[in-house]
Structure 1
Amino acid sequence: MTKREKQIVEILRKEPMICQQDLADRLGVSRSSVAVHITNMMKKGIIAGKGYVIREDNYIAVVGGANMDIFGMPDHAFQREDSNPGRVVQSPGGVGRNVAENLARLCVPVRLFTLLGEDVNGDVLMARTQEAGVDTSYIQRERLHPTGVYLAVQDEKGEMRSAISQMEIYDQMDESYPESVLRVLSGASLMMLDTNLSPEALAFLLYRLPQTRMFLDPVSSVKARRVKHFINRFDTIKPNVHEVEALSGIPVTDDESLVTNAKYFLRRGVKHIFITLGDRGVFVADSSRMGFVQAKPCSIKNANGAGDAFMAAIMMTAMETEDTKLWALNGMAAAILTLSTEHTINRDMNPSRLEEIKKEYEITWKDLQNTSI
């Protein structure tokens, strides 16, 4: 889709019965211009039927965690082993769920596959996820296990100091759940897995869907080991430094070791590698180039959720182009937008804002020289 078509889809998802004149006024263009765009979008199959129904033949499947996030943030410098005055914020979270909501806000058709308890937290997560535009038809509710909860304490800079996760509900996800929705999963253009899933569920999906382009969020260095021996099945991976070391066994100490890690994965069949480096940006590699994506410093209100937004943006871009550099630029913009809110997801996430953020924070690509792939 073109930039203008994305803007139109963004409006039509919220107001499918809007008339062309109102749509033109909203976009600041003529009615005739809108009519041309609508006609072209119908020819492309983006829009189908009356009421501007958005076709969802090309959708992304996200299989992963959904939980309630609880964050504690001190008002002043964080003091260990002491009570810190501050604020407590609760919001829907979970790596898979966050990626799915960000995709929906980026106007990408997305279906979420996860487990929720039959409890208040599960009800809140279901309602918020549906409200964002995610297809939740295939979420399974569990009566005997509570919805996952993630509790994190941050320092005054928004960086995590410690966390506790209650995620035993995902131990119940054996092969039976993904097998029950396998037909829907197999129709996805792209699929993202996070390692909150049980090893059995991960192995089942990777072996039963060999033709599906898989994207991996390793979640943590401990859980990353669940897919270490299946890494060749992934098209794209987005680990941080600790996770990449767990997957490859190669310590990250400098730029040269990043290159060594990238070559390790490329030789095993991974096509796109994004290693997140905190305030250094992101190291990016594919079969033709390696480099860094960086931006001006930004204020951080909450570091949680930035990686999930990055993943959503690269998947959105992957639906349209194989330009890994553009994937990374959009991913960085989504991460910065998320860092600017106390919540795990920025409700202002949309394609237009990504373009604005790229300019505002001067997001740039820097090629890594003298590297043979």
Structure 2
Amino acid sequence: MTEREQEILQWLRQNPLIPQQELADQLGISRSAVAGHIMKLMQKGQILGKGYILADSPYVVALGGANMDIRGSTVAALRQGDSNPGRISCSAGGVARNIAENLARLGADCRLISAVGDDLYGRALLESTQRAGVDVRHVLLLPDAATSTYLSIHGPDGDMAIAINDMDILTRLDATRLAPQRELLRHAGLIVADANLSPDALAWLFAEAGDTPVFMDTVSAFKADRLRPWLGRIHTLKPNRLEAASLSGLPLDTPAQAPALASWFHQQGIRQLIVSLAADGVFYSHADGTHGWCPAPACDIVNATGAGDALMAGLAWGALQGMPLPHAVELAQACAALTLSCAATNNPTLSLTAVQQLCPNLPYPEQS
């Protein structure tokens, strides 16, 4: 689907009876253009008939951080304790929010649960996220809190040198405020969450998830420790080298140590482990014994921020389609490559078509 078609589907999910003229006014296009897009969506099987009856397909709930990313980068080596000339940009970010945007760009129906302040950053986040095709109706808008902000500094190689996050607002996303989303969670095809959630929110998540698979992003070695009590309830865990070693207490200095580390995680109850090892690629392991390596994607790194979120989105999309783990990992690596080669945290050109061009030999499910 095109970005415009995803945007139209988002509006139709919120109001299946919306008149075409009102939809045109909301999108800033003509009524005839809306009619043309709706006809194409009907041909693709996304709309089943009059009254905009939408095709029933499993949706993803993304639960966790949504923040404004402020990125500073230099073309010369960073000098500590000095003012460094460079470029500064702002973009929508947050691990769960980024994953949700990437999933929507792949064509998935994704609902975001998070919290933002009723301020300039918060309103901008909601607008850009909805424009990408994500359902943001379940994001809390809090008038007495500031939207999360993530400040990162990058050297000329694109890698992050240091970052500061101000995410106090997520402590307000507690069990009481999450309770109205119980049914949304229970009927999801898959849940993706991040370790930005408070211990209270994590306890609520695993109490309500039932049999729905939970894919968890560890975020950082510090925040990954919050997941320790819940390892037996997590279906898929995606740590990096430092986070995996910190959680398990096992070394991961060389690729040869990865299988023993994966065995430890499977003993705790993790069904799928995907460890990102930077230049060494990705090691994946399933509790059924399936395991292997997927090499790092060949691409020019413009911005490393957001690649892990794109990787998780690809894993979740592959799981929704019933793809075997090795194929889902290869697709996820393609999503990461597209993101690494883009200056923005989330590549606006990410799509299933773009991924298929990088991985033409994968057995993709038939798309209507």
> Structure 1 residue 256: deviation in Å?
3.1
Q: Distance in 1 between matches of 2:149 and 2:3?
A: 31
> Structure 1 residue 144: deviation in Å?
1.8
Is it true that 1:13 corresponds to 2:6 in the alignment?
yes
The residue aligned with 1:29 is none
Q: Distance in 1 between matches of 2:7 and 2:305?
A: 27
The residue aligned with 1:31 is none
> Structure 1 residue 219: deviation in Å?
0.5
> Structure 1 residue 81: deviation in Å?
2.2
Q: Which residue identity lines up with residue 309 of structure 1 in the other structure?
A: A
Q: Give the 3 Å change call, closer, same or farther, for CA 209–348 of structure 1 in structure 2.
A: same
- When the two chains are superposed, the root-mean-square deviation of aligned CA atoms in Å is 2.3
Q: Distance in 2 between matches of 1:297 and 1:127?
A: 33
Provide the TM-score with structure 2 as the length reference: 0.86
> Structure 1 residue 234: deviation in Å?
0.8
Q: Which residue identity lines up with residue 160 of structure 2 in the other structure?
A: M
Q: Distance in 1 between matches of 2:160 and 2:140?
A: 30
Is it true that 1:199 corresponds to 2:206 in the alignment?
no
Q: Is the 8 A contact 1:13 1:54 kept in 2?
A: no
The residue aligned with 2:314 is 313
Q: Which residue identity lines up with residue 271 of structure 2 in the other structure?
A: K
Q: Give the 3 Å change call, closer, same or farther, for CA 84–128 of structure 1 in structure 2.
A: same
Q: Distance in 1 between matches of 2:344 and 2:220?
A: 20
Summarize the alignment of residues 297-336 of structure 1 with structure 2, pairs less than 5 Å apart. 297-336=298-337
Q: Give the 3 Å change call, closer, same or farther, for CA 220–227 of structure 1 in structure 2.
A: same
Q: Give the 3 Å change call, closer, same or farther, for CA 221–149 of structure 1 in structure 2.
A: same
Q: Distance in 2 between matches of 1:163 and 1:224?
A: 17
> Structure 1 residue 122: deviation in Å?
0.2
Q: Is the 8 A contact 2:63 2:191 kept in 1?
A: yes
Q: Is the 8 A contact 2:7 2:132 kept in 1?
A: no
The residue aligned with 2:237 is 237
Q: Give the 3 Å change call, closer, same or farther, for CA 276–47 of structure 1 in structure 2.
A: same
Q: Is the 8 A contact 2:250 2:261 kept in 1?
A: yes
- Please, which runs of 5 or more residues in structure 2 have no aligned partner? 10-33, 363-368
> Structure 1 residue 295: deviation in Å?
4.2
What is the percent sequence identity of the aligned residues?
35
Q: Which runs of 4+ in 1 moved over 6 A?
A: none
Q: Is the 8 A contact 1:117 1:146 kept in 2?
A: yes
The residue aligned with 2:169 is 169
Summarize the alignment of residues 172-191 of structure 1 with structure 2, pairs less than 5 Å apart. 172-191=172-191
> Structure 1 residue 267: deviation in Å?
2.1
> Structure 1 residue 65: deviation in Å?
0.2
Q: Which residue identity lines up with residue 127 of structure 1 in the other structure?
A: E
Q: Distance in 2 between matches of 1:116 and 1:217?
A: 20
Q: Is the 8 A contact 2:239 2:274 kept in 1?
A: yes
The residue aligned with 2:343 is 342
Q: Is the 8 A contact 1:68 1:90 kept in 2?
A: yes
Q: Is the 8 A contact 1:283 1:291 kept in 2?
A: yes
The residue aligned with 1:85 is 85
Q: Is the 8 A contact 2:3 2:133 kept in 1?
A: no
The residue aligned with 1:70 is 70
Q: Distance in 2 between matches of 1:295 and 1:275?
A: 12
Q: Give the 3 Å change call, closer, same or farther, for CA 147–56 of structure 1 in structure 2.
A: farther
Q: Give the 3 Å change call, closer, same or farther, for CA 49–13 of structure 1 in structure 2.
A: farther
**SS in structure 2 at match of 1:136:** coil
Q: Distance in 2 between matches of 1:329 and 1:346?
A: 18
Q: Distance in 2 between matches of 1:51 and 1:353?
A: 32
**SS in structure 1 at match of 2:359:** helix
Q: Distance in 1 between matches of 2:8 and 2:129?
A: 18
Summarize the alignment of residues 97-176 of structure 1 with structure 2, pairs less than 5 Å apart. 97-176=97-176
Q: Distance in 2 between matches of 1:258 and 1:53?
A: 47
Q: Deviations over 1:211-255 (max 9, x none)?
A: 111000010101111011211101111100111122212121222
The residue aligned with 2:271 is 271
Q: Which residue identity lines up with residue 233 of structure 2 in the other structure?
A: R
> Structure 1 residue 15: deviation in Å?
6.4
The residue aligned with 2:212 is 212
The residue aligned with 2:262 is 262
> Structure 1 residue 182: deviation in Å?
0.6
> Structure 1 residue 342: deviation in Å?
1.4
Q: Which residue identity lines up with residue 338 of structure 2 in the other structure?
A: L
> Structure 1 residue 296: deviation in Å?
5.0
- Please, which runs of 5 or more residues in structure 1 have no aligned partner? 1-6, 24-33, 364-373
81-90 or 347-356: bigger deviation: 81-90
> Structure 1 residue 83: deviation in Å?
1.6
Q: Distance in 2 between matches of 1:61 and 1:15?
A: 19
> Structure 1 residue 207: deviation in Å?
1.9
Q: Is the 8 A contact 1:12 1:18 kept in 2?
A: no
Q: Give the 3 Å change call, closer, same or farther, for CA 102–244 of structure 1 in structure 2.
A: same
Q: Distance in 2 between matches of 1:222 and 1:91?
A: 24
> Structure 1 residue 49: deviation in Å?
1.8
285-294 or 74-83: bigger deviation: 74-83
> Structure 1 residue 294: deviation in Å?
1.1
> Structure 1 residue 13: deviation in Å?
3.1
Q: Is the 8 A contact 1:61 1:190 kept in 2?
A: yes
Provide the TM-score with structure 1 as the length reference: 0.85
